[in-house]
Structure 1
Amino acid sequence: MNAQPTADNPRVAVSLKALVDLAKPAAAISLGHANIRAAQSGNYLSHLKGRGMAFDETRLYQPGDDVRRIDWRVTARTGKPHSKIFKEERERPMFIAVDYRAAMAFATRGVFKSVQAARLAALLAWAALQQGDRIGGQIFSEAGCQEIRPQTGKPALLRFLNALVKPAYSGDPAATLDLPLSRLLHHAHPGSRVYILSDFRGLNPAAERHLANLAKHCEVVLVHIADPLEISLPGKGRYRFTDGLREILFDSGDRQRAEAYRQRFADRRRLLQKLSNQLRLLLIPCSTQQAALDVLTGARPQYR
């Protein structure tokens, strides 16, 4: 059920202390899993992308070198086999986009989708700090957008956590996803790892184009947050819903309406999966009932 967020209810609002307290559990998160851009079979994957490898130099081939790393151009030019040597990327920018639109202030079980997004964002930020990455982000809602430039160190992380608790919005309202994704293209530099935490309502063709352009230069992870009631309606009965201002009474005994409702969510999930397959993105399902840490450590998702 929907309700007005209150600072003393951790299910509907986040506090700075709660986000700071996630530092210790974030140590269990590994951002080093590889091969997430492999062709997907149609199911959601549940592991995070690994660190990329940056080209360092070319040297003469040595016994034991991986033949897949032979530099064929240099080999052809010199007549002697050469190998490419790579090094791990350091201080890689991580950009975390968090959806705080009105539809995210909702849950029937667990926590509000917006609270889940904030907890996931904080865990990712702490994990990035512990692994030496730069931390930045974006928070968007109908009130506007706020971007936090990626920087290193704990002050950058605390700046991001404070923004999650009290965003300072500016600019046009982000009713759909095309505006925040357009802004992401300008703020997330090539080579960044980008996480988008959202229910992905308002994923229109313009937003899909922006996402495709973003995926060309960044590693993109989509975390799809959903409440069980969004997936399917409860059993037969009459249910009362409110957002604190308005109230509706809904009869779930109408099978045709219930099936149409279920199909709308299934279509949105199918679209996200198809888009992820096409753009070779990682798509992670997340329920409002699921512990945020479990989402990022690959535990079995409680999507239903």
Structure 2
Amino acid sequence: MATRVSPGASSPVAVSLAELIAIGDRLPPSRLEAGRRLAAKQGGYLSRFRGRGMEFAEVRAYLPGDDARNIDWRVTARRGKVHTKLFHEERERPVLVALDYRRPMFFATRGRFKAVRATQLAALFAWQALAHGDRIGGFLFSEERNLELRPQLGKKAVLQLLRQMVADPAWERPRHQPFEPKQRLAVTLQRLRRVARPGSLIRLLSDFSQWDERVELQLAQLNRHCELELVHCFDPLEADLPPAGSYRLSDGLRDLSIVTTDRAARRAYQQHFAQRRQLLEDFCRRQHARFMVLPSDLDPIENLFSGGAGG
């Protein structure tokens, strides 16, 4: 199983609470928006602005120019005159960080586990939400469980999310178990759609294994009432085979040899990943959602502080 590291230490296969807290300590005011610039640099698509969440205020008689979608039909029927609902804007936007801890995320050939990189970026998102005065919540999902943290204000909410990410049972799995999900990704996203409040910013970090039409349907429905951002986590080996040669791989139980000298096979491998990436990008373009890539050999925090997020 993955070994926990001591506070402040850095590991390619685990995260620590001290490390995630330090991300917030290092975040200068000038970089509060850098996460969005990083997304733009990595191929982001700006979403249409839906505004912050809306809370019900009162009912009054309908006036010309009012939105017909807000008509209160029960009050209208009771009083015999058309009435409409009034809303006021919530002062803090709910930000929900949805983080994939399924087994394929615990993989890397270079850099760190995809799950480690995603957790680091999720921590950055949480600290940014705090700096903006937004409410921060979480949705952590894996083969073993789904954990929902209702968006709340303040540093306490950020620390609660960080603790839950570090303590998630996925980090303590026995090694070499096959990926046998109890439910498809589409079912998990259906649950996410049910818990996300209208007007929320949903930042979904995943490798999007099991992407299919049902996943697209759930995300499209989620995107109707929320602002959606997809962060695609991947290892460089998933995008391209290593240099031409012969390699021996092992999962700890079995050995496997692969030969990467066939040019046609290399092109087919690259095209398969490119087509899968294109599906994600096309979906985000159609939905006017934001898209960001997070390779496992790129430290999103170091890239941010070094100026790599600019543009």
TM-score bracket, shorter-length normalisation: 0.7 to 0.9
In structure 1, what is the equivalent of residue 159 of structure 2?
158
1-structure distance, mates of 2:34, 2:119:
18
Aligned pairs for 1:142-221 within 5 A? 142-167=143-168, 173=181, 176-221=184-229
2-structure distance, mates of 1:294, 1:220:
25
SS at match of 2:27: helix
The 3 A distance-change label for structure 1 pair 235 and 32 is: closer
Aligned pairs for 1:12-31 within 5 A? 12-27=13-28, 28-30=31-33
Q: Which residue identity is paired with 2:146? A: C
Contact 1:176 1:204 in 2 (8 A): no
SS at match of 1:21: helix
Query: Is residue 125 from structure 1 mapped to residue 90 from structure 2 by the alignment?
Result: no
Deviation at 1:296, TM superposition (A): 6.5
2-structure distance, mates of 1:292, 1:32:
9
In structure 1, what is the equivalent of residue 51 of structure 2?
52
Deviation at 1:120, TM superposition (A): 0.5
Contact 2:23 2:301 in 1 (8 A): no
Q: Which residue identity is paired with 2:3? A: T
| Corresponding residue pairs, total | 265
Structure-2-length-normalised TM-score = 0.75
The 3 A distance-change label for structure 1 pair 183 and 168 is: farther
Gaps of 5+ in 1: 56-71, 75-86
Contact 1:135 1:157 in 2 (8 A): yes
More helix by share: 2
Q: Deviations over 1:200-245 (max 9, x none)?
A: 1111111110000000000001111121111110111111223344
Query: Is residue 10 from structure 1 mapped to residue 11 from structure 2 by the alignment?
Result: yes
> Is the deviation greater in 251-260 or in 210-219?
251-260
In structure 2, what is the equivalent of residue 83 of structure 1?
none
Aligned pairs for 1:104-119 within 5 A? 104-119=105-120
The 3 A distance-change label for structure 1 pair 126 and 106 is: same
Deviation at 1:294, TM superposition (A): 6.1
Deviation at 1:295, TM superposition (A): 6.5
Q: Deviations over 1:60-84 (max 9, x none)?
A: xxxxxxxxxxxx948xxxxxxxxxx
> Is the deviation greater in 91-100 or in 237-246?
237-246
Q: Deviations over 1:116-161 (max 9, x none)?
A: 0000000100111121111111111121211111111122111111
The 3 A distance-change label for structure 1 pair 73 and 192 is: same
Contact 1:51 1:89 in 2 (8 A): no
Q: Which residue identity is paired with 1:161? A: L
Aligned pairs for 1:95-106 within 5 A? 95-106=96-107
Contact 1:185 1:214 in 2 (8 A): yes
Q: Which residue identity is paired with 1:7? A: R
Contact 1:197 1:224 in 2 (8 A): yes
> Is the deviation greater in 20-29 or in 105-114?
20-29
Gaps of 5+ in 2: 55-63, 67-87, 171-179
Deviation at 1:282, TM superposition (A): 0.5
Query: Is residue 90 from structure 1 mapped to residue 91 from structure 2 by the alignment?
Result: yes
**1:266 alignment partner, one of 249, 260, 274:** 274
1-structure distance, mates of 2:256, 2:270:
19
Contact 1:47 1:296 in 2 (8 A): no
Contact 1:95 1:136 in 2 (8 A): yes
The 3 A distance-change label for structure 1 pair 175 and 264 is: farther
Deviation at 1:173, TM superposition (A): 4.4
Contact 1:196 1:223 in 2 (8 A): yes
TM-align CA RMSD: 3.4
Q: Which residue identity is paired with 1:299? A: G
Query: Is residue 299 from structure 1 mapped to residue 308 from structure 2 by the alignment?
Result: yes
> Is the deviation greater in 113-122 or in 20-29?
20-29
Deviation at 1:32, TM superposition (A): 9.7
Contact 2:48 2:288 in 1 (8 A): no
The 3 A distance-change label for structure 1 pair 242 and 47 is: farther
SS at match of 2:96: strand
Deviation at 1:270, TM superposition (A): 0.4
Percent identity for Structure 1 against Structure 2: 40
